[in-house]
Each structure stands twice: as C-alpha cells, then as structure tokens.
A = this chain, B = another copy of it.
Amino acid sequence: MARNASLSGFPEWLPQERLVEQHVLDTLRRTFELHGFSSIETRAVETVGQLLRKGEIDKEVYALSRLQDDDGNAASAAKDDPNQLALHFDLTVPFARYVVENAGYLSFPFRRYQIQKVWRGERPQEGRAREFTQADIDVVADGELPFRYDVELALVIAEALSALPIPAFKLRINNRKLAEGFYRGIGLSDTAGVLRSIDKLEKIGAAAVAGLLKSELGATDEQAEKALALASIRTEDTSFVEQVRALGITDELMEEGLNELEQVVAAAVKSAPGSVVADLSIARGLDYYTGTVYETVLVGHEQLGSICSGGRYDALASKGNRKFPGVGLSIGVTRLVSRILSQEFATASRSVPTAVLVTLADEDSWSAAQDVAGALRARGISTEVAAKADKFGKQIKYADKRGIPYVWFTDDDGAHQVKDIRSGEQDEADPAAWMPPAADLKPAIIVA
C-alpha cells in the first residue's frame, strides 16, 4: 500500500486489494437488492446543459472532445454549447434525466440503486479522487412521495454500512423544514443564507458564523445566538425535540420538520442503536434538499469527510407540470475502500480466486488434468491446471506464491491425491466428490 497512483487522483488497486473492493460492492448490492432496489446504470456522459441544471459546478467538470474530428482536424470542447458532452460528476443528475426520459416505462414509486464511477476535475487530496465509485439509492415518485421513505432509507443505509468492514459510523440526520421554520420563527427570512453560514460551522467555528449572520444577513445578537443554539443540538435519541421546544420558538414549518425528524431518528435508533445522531447543525450546503438531510462520518476518521450523504428533494426532476420528488443517499465507495486498505481494516486471504492447482506429472497428462479441473469447477471450486510439467516443487511454489491452498496430483494409474500445502496433509480424493472446507472455497475477507 506504499504504491502511489501513477496518475494523481486516479487510484487503481492490486488484485488482492480489488478483492476487498469487490467485497464492499457485492455487500452493497446484496443489501440494496434485499430491500427491493433495482439496478440501473446510466451513460458516463451528459450534456453540459443537463449537468449545469442544478447550479454552477463547471469548475469540476471534464468535457469531452474527439481528438480529431471526421476531417482530421483537432477538435476542442465548446464550453458554451449546452450539447457539449462531459463526464458526470455524480449519479443524481443522470438519474433525474433517466427518470424523465423513461417515465413511461417505470413503475412509481421507483426504487433504484446505481453503482458507477464518477469524475471530478478537482485538485486531488486525501479522501478526494478525480475518478471514484459512488453507490446511490433513491426512491422517486410521480407526484407525491410518502414521507415514510425518508425513514426507510435511513434504515437501509444503516444496514448497508453495518455490513461493511469499517469502524463504527455516525449517521447524522437533520431536517431542512425544522431549520428553515426556526429561522423564520426568529425573524431571519433569508433561510438559505442562514443555512449557508451554518454549514461553515465545523470549518470556521461559532464566533465566525455569528459574525457572518450579523454582517451578511443583518441578524441581531439575539437572532445569531438562537440560530447557533439550534445548531448546537445533538442527541442520540429523540430528546432533541424537547431541546428545540425549550428555545421557545413556534412555527408551523418547524413543527412539521420536528415531527419528521423525530420519526426518522426514532426508527433509525431502534434499528441501529449508537450509530444515529440527530445533529441540528447539518445543512448540506449547496444541495437542493427540502426536508430530511443525512451525512455520515466514520468515528475516529471524521477528517475523511462524509462517507454517505443525501436527503429529500421535493423535485428531483420535473417534466412539464409533472414533478418527481425523491429521497436518496450516496455512499462514497472509493473513499471508504481507500481507507479500509490504508488502515488494513480488512484484507483478502489470498490474491487469486483459485482454490486448487491441478499439477502435471508429464506433458501428456494436460488433457486429463483439464478433466479433473472441469469436475471440480462443476461444483463451484475455482481451479487452475499447471501450464507445464515442471518439477512438482516448482508447481507447488506456483500455488504457494498465490496463496492457492490445495494442489492436486494424479498418478499414472489415475489415482488422485489432494494436498493442503499449508499443513502438508495429503489424502486420496475423488474429482467427482471432493470439496475443500467452506472457508477455503473462495478468498475470505479478513476483518481486523
């Protein structure tokens, strides 16, 4: 793991590391499918017009151009052309487009998961790559999406993260309605402005945020103090409700938000006790959420940033008068896998899928060895056949170097033996019946 990516910001894994990543991806897929989410993939490219629909993000986007056009001329990206193609920088914008384009073919509410690479032309740093994999789940409705999905998605994500070889995590949940209603209730009408300032709390501290609220939004000392008091509330149960009420503000939208957050937190705490916090400082910055917001940190690795974020949109997408509200979360798979590998939270027990190497006594026995291998594979045992009838010592070394646990011998009379090269134990075996212990069948992921 001392290796550096040969291109900064574009990590690549060795085979043994890739097994850990595959374990993470397989676990997420299994969890999402167990909860009834359908897989989709979208193309890697969108038009710049689509990508910029939700605001100014163009610094991060990689535009595409043919190296030569059909006439052999060098082509260049046309930044101002909305049809210019660029790589997607998340999976939410492409999903919104997919929903609108395929609305006539989908059943709503539509539950989908999507695990793909995304690209951002940012300066690479720890936990931030230029190419990385995201795993998203969303539920989107045509018209109205029951609030209960906000609760359900918190449960699914907590279950998915709990199944991964990572340290304890904290799912921090807040509600935009609660915050916006509260700000309105204390007389601060530019609620988006307040959210933007509060979002800087962790970076610049309470005093600086109070300064911003006063200088930029014209807040009084008392208003700034109240806004900060709300943002300081953090509870691992639903007691935040009383703490908010104790601040003495009444507002209808705030009440709606309080009620929603209470439901999400109550259910999530029941399902994943100790992993859930109602954190009233969570604002999720520039994202266009309208209710529940989620983010997630690894305990002891908070500086890595959020490993799973999301929230509720009143209109993930729209098509004429039709609105498609949604709620979803996105897991930063590459960020997680990088940390799992660098901290050795998990390792693979061997570098290859192979459980058995069938050796060759002489060159003429290759075809018979293939038959043995075929019989083993028919029972799901990953098997290789030696490519040359080298001395047995050399063939065994081939297996040993790769962590292949068993080597197979067939003598001239067709008698079979299998040897566990770790223990040296060697026994007669039948190609049509022999099975390795379950733990040796596939590379195991060993959690530290």
Interface residues of A (CB under 8 A from B): 3, 5-7, 10-15, 18-19, 22, 33-45, 47-48, 58-59, 61-68, 70, 72, 74-77, 79, 85-87, 97-98, 101-102, 105-107, 109, 111-112, 117, 119, 121, 123, 131, 146, 148-149, 152, 155, 267, 270-271, 351-354, 366-367, 370, 377, 380-385, 387-388, 401-402
Contacts and interface: CB of A to CB of B under 8 A. Distances in A.
A407 B209 CA distance: 52
B37 A351 contact: no
Contact of A6 (B33, B59, B101, B385): B101
B67 A62 contact: yes
B112 A38 contact: no
A36 B382 contact: yes
B351 A44 contact: no
Given A267-B367, A388-B148, A13 B40 contact: yes
A35 B102 CA distance: 39
Given A42-B12, A44-B44, A382-B34, A65 B67 contact: no
A55 to B, nearest CB: 14
A63 B61 contact: no
A62 B65 contact: yes
Contacts of A367: 267, 270
B15 A40 contact: yes
B131 A35 contact: no
Contacts of A39: 15, 18-19, 22
A14 B98 CA distance: 9
A65 B44 CA distance: 15
A444 to B, nearest CB: 14
B79 A67 contact: yes
Nearest to A119: B44
Nearest to A14: B105
A72 B75 CA distance: 20
A102 B14 contact: yes
Nearest to A376: B34
A350 B4 CA distance: 44
A347 to B, nearest CB: 14
A271 B385 CA distance: 15
14 contacts: A12-B40, A15-B112, A33-B353, A36-B352, A59-B66, A59-B67, A59-B70, A61-B66, A62-B64, A64-B87, A148-B366, A148-B388, A149-B387, A155-B370
B3 A351 contact: no
A67 B76 contact: no
Nearest to A97: B6
A263 to B, nearest CB: 10
A383 B111 CA distance: 12
A364 to B, nearest CB: 12
Nearest to A117: B44
Contact of A77 (B61, B76, B107, B381): B76
Nearest to A367: B267
A250 to B, nearest CB: 26
A425 to B, nearest CB: 22
